[in-house]
Amino acid sequence: MTTTAETVHAASDVELSLALVGSEIAETAAEVDLRQLSRLATEVQTAGNSATGRIFVAGVGRSGLVLRMAAMRLMHLGFDVHIAGDTTTPAIRSGDLLLLASGSGTTSGVVRAAETASKAGARIAVYTTNATSRLAELADVVVIIPAAQKTDHGSTVSRQYSGSLFEQVLFLVAEAVFQTLWDNDATPAEELWLRHANLE
């Protein structure tokens, strides 16, 4: 049985952890270059509003899960969005946009997707920590999230474990892109909701 002293101590630990995570997210998000993020939002809007353009997203692990959430939001805006690797995802082509995330910028599957998209003539937008990576080299637009890479266990950038800060801020900036596009679109939330999944 947990004693009152232990409960208070646990609550205190959680409070400190919550403050740590929140402060690291706020500090890192504040360092994201808003011009880079604005260019990425423009790329998404251009592809999404094109009569023939489509948006593809690709990422692995937790970064991939964040991009899946971003893809859902873009679908709510009425954009033609596809997740790389799904069985119904079509071939990418010129006029499309591939949106990628990799903290290191070296994740093999993500880099291969960028290389394929580049050969097809598609535009490429990337979230990464590594401005000199192969992934960044292939991109038309790069947003640098100044967080520790997941293998940088001795980092002074973050006290959190294995890439958590990158993924947290990735979610935040992806939501900011969606919010910006929605604010400019001004479609009522009730209309966006009509596109929400109903086979859940």
Tell me, yes or no, if 167 is annotated catalytic: yes
The DSSP secondary-structure symbol of 108 reads H
Tokens 């990418």 correspond to what residue?
92
Which of 109, 36, 99 shows the shortest CA–CA distance to 73?
Answer: 99
How far is it, in rounded angstroms, from Cα 96 to Cα 71?
14
For residue 28, give Cα distances in angstroms to 22, 70, 113, 126, 141.
10, 19, 27, 17, 19
Provide the token pair at 28: 């890192």
Cα–Cα distance, 123 to 121 (Å, whole number): 7
| Catalytic position from the list 43, 167, 190, 191 | 167
Point out which residues pair with 99 in neighbouring strands: 57, 125
Measured at the CA of 177, the angle between CA 173 and CA 183, to 5 degrees, comes to 135
Closest alpha carbon to 142 in 51, 33, 59? 33
Cα–Cα distance measured from residue 16 to residue 190, given in angstroms and rounded to the nearest whole number? 39
What are the catalytic residues? 167
